[in-house]
Structure 1
Amino acid sequence: MYTLKKSLGQHFLRDENICRKIVSALQEYPFDRLLEVGPGGGALTKYLLELEGIDFKAVELDMEKVEYLERTYPSIKGKLIHRSFLEIDPPFDQPFTVVGNFPYNISTQILFKVLDWGEQVEAVIGMFQKEVAQRVAAASGNKVYGVMSVLVQAFYRVEYLFDVPPGCFNPPPKVMSGVIRLLPRKDIPVMRSRKAFTLLVKTAFNQRRKTLRNAVRGLFPPEILADEFFNQRAEQLTVEQFAELTFKMNG
């Protein structure tokens, strides 16, 4: 078989019902190209390889798992990228969908990478620690609404699909997991630039207990900061309000 590596955040899915639910959710929106992140022991991969007419690739850092997958599922040969997902370029020239039981220790970095790839990613279905999944899906005013919620929701519509209990994995993690779906927004809020938007959101939440005025003081002219709007805290602002604010930032 293979060994499980804690250093890589490996918790392998073993519940066939959950695998089928993920594949079913994946098929609700058509796609031609699919990238699986961290196939591990292949629980999900074996179903993905059966999808007809799909250009499939998988990225796996662990050489032992690459060899195991090639032995167990011969049809995967030539479709595996033996690298860290965080270091690869988009594996397709055209838009593609991303799926995976994401390694917990890099799951937020995976989302940032997806954001960097922009319009090339047409959908994501991913399994995360439940608290991370909830954070990505949280609405403004929620105590877990933060940087990740705003940056992802500016460009994607987020749906929390279902919980996955620890017993569905080997070894069982100490936390619940959750599966979410990201679909590109057709109405991306108008903003000065992605760079300005990202800077504003990260600065605002960096001191989330302070009023917006104190948290983002260095980014706006004093006359703008005098507005009562800045009496609010970061978690009270919607994604659209953050986007709108970028036009008032220092030049």
Structure 2
Amino acid sequence: MSEFAPHRARKRFGQNFLHDHGVINRILRAIGPREGQHLVEIGPGQGALTAGLVDSGARLDVVELDNDLHPRLLAMFGHKPLFTLHKGDALKFDFRSLVQPGEKLRVVGNLPYNISTPLMFHLLSQADCVADMHFMLQKEVVQRLAATAGMNHYGRLGIMVQYWCEVEHLFDVGPGAFNPPPKVDSAIVRLTPHARLPHPADDVEMLEIVVREAFNQRRKTLRNTLKPLMDADAIAAVGIDPTTRPEQVDLAGWVRLANQLAQARPQTAPPSS
């Protein structure tokens, strides 16, 4: 590494480089990479996790946006036969293009806070080719992902991610594990796409609409917050008290509400001319 000048973390890329070897090893143990698996690391940075992933014997593709890091990563790992560097933006990357017949990807990343949510949903749109995901995220984001009905952090993000995945908040990581240290605590989360959706919606877009509408005014009752979409009788028809607040409704309840609305929609559509 001596031939490379120190890399200055760039705010526009949301870079905070992991350097605590105890945390790095704990993350690697949580992932448990093995020979024969196919891993994808998003934003490998200076290769803190990459070294352990590639040494596992797994096939490893990495996606890095920062051009200045590409020579460093190639110098460190380019000679490894199972290592491939992809230069580009993970938000636009086609992860399905990496999949070979009969396999699924294991995705890993220390995600920049500013792109973590859209990137997760970009991956969930390709969840059929993903075995699991392990991410370092802002602690509050992980709390939102893992929260269930009645918890303080429960809301749109957790509901929609839990629709697609099992969510496990594994452990927290303090700012001192990074260079530069962020101003917030971080946490490791494991997302495992459901082999079979536990509460399949008739129309996922309708589920997104219902949840968004409800949580735009989360302190109001469903009778009031869902008024533009459905009346109190329609809410009660799926076994939910219209005076309930959004944070008290579990995932199964949201799917029932969305299905009720989806089934009613054709009846309210204007007649064709």
Q: TM-score, normalised by structure 1?
A: 0.92
Aligned equivalent of 2:62, options 58, 68, 74: 58
**In 2, Cα distance between equivalents of 1:237 and 1:44:** 38
| More displaced stretch, 38-47 vs 108-117 | 108-117
**Cα deviation per residue 1:94-113 (whole Å; 9 max; x = unaligned)?**
42111011111111112111
8 Å contact from structure 1 (residues 86, 110) kept in 2: yes
Matches within 5 A, 1:4-43: 4-27=9-32, 32-43=37-48
**1:151 lines up with 2:160 in the alignment:** yes
SS at match of 2:48: coil
Seen in structure 2, the aligned counterparts of structure 1 residues 136 and 30 have a Cα distance that, compared at 3 Å, is farther
Residue 55 of structure 1, CA deviation: 2.2
**1:99 lines up with 2:118 in the alignment:** no
- The answer for unaligned runs of 5 or more in structure 2 is 1-5, 266-273
Seen in structure 2, the aligned counterparts of structure 1 residues 230 and 28 have a Cα distance that, compared at 3 Å, is farther
Identity of matched residues, %? 36
Amino acid at match of 1:6: K
Equivalence for 2:269:
none
8 Å contact from structure 1 (residues 156, 185) kept in 2: yes
| More displaced stretch, 201-210 vs 155-164 | 201-210
8 Å contact from structure 2 (residues 171, 188) kept in 1: yes
Question: What is the count of residue pairs matched by the alignment?
Answer: 250
Seen in structure 2, the aligned counterparts of structure 1 residues 165 and 222 have a Cα distance that, compared at 3 Å, is closer
SS at match of 2:190: strand
Equivalence for 1:202:
212
Structure with the greater alpha carbon radius of gyration: 2
Q: Which has the higher contact order (CA 8 A, sep 6+)?
A: 1
8 Å contact from structure 1 (residues 33, 92) kept in 2: no
Residue 218 of structure 1, CA deviation: 2.2
Residue 220 of structure 1, CA deviation: 2.3
Matches within 5 A, 1:110-121: 110-121=119-130
Aligned equivalent of 2:73, options 45, 69, 72: 69
Q: TM-score, normalised by structure 2?
A: 0.85
**In 2, Cα distance between equivalents of 1:29 and 1:159:** 21
8 Å contact from structure 2 (residues 132, 191) kept in 1: yes
Equivalence for 1:47:
52
Tell me the C-alpha RMSD between the 2 structures.
2.0
Residue 241 of structure 1, CA deviation: 0.9
**In 1, Cα distance between equivalents of 2:255 and 2:25:** 38
Seen in structure 2, the aligned counterparts of structure 1 residues 120 and 175 have a Cα distance that, compared at 3 Å, is same
